[in-house]
Amino acid sequence: MIRQVSVFVENKPGSLMDVTSRLTEAGVNIRAVATFDTPEFGILRMVVDKPDEAKEYLTKLGYVVRIHEVMGVALEDKKGNLNQMLAILAKGELNINYIYSFIIRDGKEPVMVFNTDDFAKAEKVLKEAEVKIVEEADL
């Protein structure tokens, strides 16, 4: 089992950055992160190296923080492996509430996937900042 840290965040500019910068202050390393889009608020879910310290630090600053367990499954980087795992869970009639992937991977650059209302603008600002945009074919 893996312990996951969930933080309540509002859907407004900078709210995710507020959490990540606080964790940086606390010396906590984020290994994986996920949010899902809802109009008003979100739950930021993270796997970090020091969950207890993360919760204590953020709670002290007024965040609503929850630690709970999730299951981790190692997947080889091979075609159909995710599908195979999902098939096993489906066959067992297990419902998956959410799924996300690690951004820190050995030997390869981590990939962060995000969704925004204005992709054209996002692409423009990222290119201006010389950030490498990974296309589907590059994965």
Partner 1 sequence: MIWAKEETLPRAEIEKIQLERLKETVHYIYEKVEPYREKMDAAGVKPEDIQTLDDLKKLPFTYKADFRDHYPTGLFAVDKKELVRFHASSGTTGKPTVVGYTRKDLDTWLNNVARIACMGGATPDDIAQNAFGYGTFTGALGLQGGLEKIGAAVIPMSSGNTKKQIMFMQDVGTTLLIATPSYALHLGEEIRARGLDPEKDLHVHIGLFGGEGMTEPMRDEMHKVWGENFLCTQNYGMSELCGPGVAGECEQLCGMHINEDWFIPEIIDPKTEEVLPPGEKGELVVTCLGKEALPLVRYRTGDLTRLFYEPCKCGRTTVRMENLSGRADDMLVIRGVNVFPTQIEEVMLQIPEIGPHYEIVVERKNRLDVMTITVELVDDRLLDSYSKLSELEQRIKKGLKAQLGLATQIKLVAPHSLKRFEGKAKRVTDLRKDGL
The residues that touch partner 1, with contacts defined as CB under 8 A, are 6-10, 36, 38, 40-41, 43, 62-66, 68, 97
Q: Is the dihedral of CA 71, 76, 77, 83 positive or negative?
A: negative
Q: How far is the CB of 95 from partner 1 (least distance, A)?
A: 11
Of the two residues 18 and 26, which places its CB atom closer to partner 1 in the complex?
Answer: 18
For 81, the enclosing helix (H) or strand (E) is helix 81-91
Whole-angstrom distance, CA of residue 98 vs CA of residue 6: 13
Going by DSSP bridges, is the β-strand pair 41-48/30-34 parallel, antiparallel, or unpaired? antiparallel
Q: How far is the CB of 42 from partner 1 (least distance, A)?
A: 9
Within 10 A of 48 (CB to CB), how many other CB atoms are there?
21
Of the two residues 36 and 102, which places its CB atom closer to partner 1 in the complex?
Answer: 36
Of the two residues 8 and 100, which places its CB atom closer to partner 1 in the complex?
Answer: 8
Q: How far is the CB of 46 from partner 1 (least distance, A)?
A: 12
Q: How far is the CB of 76 from partner 1 (least distance, A)?
A: 30
Of the two residues 53 and 122, which places its CB atom closer to partner 1 in the complex?
Answer: 53
Q: How far is the CB of 86 from partner 1 (least distance, A)?
A: 19
Of the two residues 14 and 110, which places its CB atom closer to partner 1 in the complex?
Answer: 14
Looking at beta carbons, which pairs linking 47-50 to residues 24 or more positions away fall under 8 Å?
47/2, 47/3, 47/4, 47/5, 47/102, 48/5, 48/23
Contacts of 96 (CB under 8 A, 6+ apart): 86, 89
